[in-house]
Structure 1
Amino acid sequence: MSALAYTLAIFILLTAIATALFRDVLSTIVVFGAYSLGMAILYTFLLAPDVAMTEAAISAGVTTILLLLTIARTTRPSTDRIFERVNVPAVVVVGAFVMVLGTLVLPEMYAVGDQTAPIWGWPALDISPSVYYIENTVADTHAHNAVSAVLASYRGFDTFGEAVVIFAAAIAVLIVLKREVFT
């Protein structure tokens, strides 16, 4: 990995820790927005521009704006402390989990662009996933649009889960905003 990737990883880690430790809600939202932008840059670095655009638009953009609107319509308790006290046992458990995850996952990860990674070809089909989807969309799903077929048929449960999360978030925002309007 390059120095840029390490710098980005450190930035993301520091903003995640700051988000968890800041006591002031406004500071937490701003740092969380920076964390989301860092993640969007990381996804771009990992050659996932679609995920990067979604992270930048939804998490860094819309979520940050909704959180700022929510605290603008609610009262903020004043606090003298900048940071929350650190729960040492929780830090130890999370640290141990990260170490175990790192030792198990990192050796198994392929480098970005590695041609031997499984995604570059399906040995059983002897073609890449994108070629398979393009050639078999109509036969498998009876949909004439490949993007709609992938979202609705091949990734149906995932798309349904995303729709449920967006619906629940929209209802929560409406409840918060409506409660402030009528009280």
Structure 2
Amino acid sequence: MNEPENITQKKQVLEVALLTSTQPLSLDDMQKLFADRMERATLRMLLDELKQDWDARTMELVQVATGYRFQARAEYTPFLARLNPEKQSKYSRAVMETLAIIAYRQPVTRGDIEEIRGVAVNPNVMRQLQERDWVDVVGQREVPGRPSLYATTKHFLDDLNLKSLAELPAMEDFVKTETQLDL
């Protein structure tokens, strides 16, 4: 195929790139698809059109923290789960409480987490959150001992289908569903 000449062809290129990508694509990534520079406003317009084109289908185009991706609509996930019936990860109350504290109060130190929870943070809890790429060290607090500051990652937002931390549910709702988070 030659370089896309019209809007329909450009939209098709975007569609195939988004459908075949294993990761969300940023606007910068999508601009690389075209030899001629495409304005971001035009790109967003095409993405809006794609979203509408897929409105009545089984997949939907969503924007998450790191870009755009196609994903199955929520009503189809129980069926898709049958393809991979392996047990999904369940997280302990300690892991979910720690994650909630980091998500809602970031950046925080281990000491901050311990003060809020009232118990020591198990190193395995922090390791589990870092291995999942939901939490990372973002710096050190400028106090004696320079403790590490922890914050959530873009991967955390992507896994929760969020564009930003502002979209987090109310803290009470997050804690209620703490053991149901099966990502």
Note whether the superposition's TM-score is higher than 0.5: no
After TM superposition, the score normalised by the length of structure 1 is 0.19
More strand by share: 2
More helix by share: 1
After TM superposition, the score normalised by the length of structure 2 is 0.19
Structure number with the bigger relative contact order (C-alpha 8 A, sep ≥ 6) is: 2
Larger radius of gyration: 1
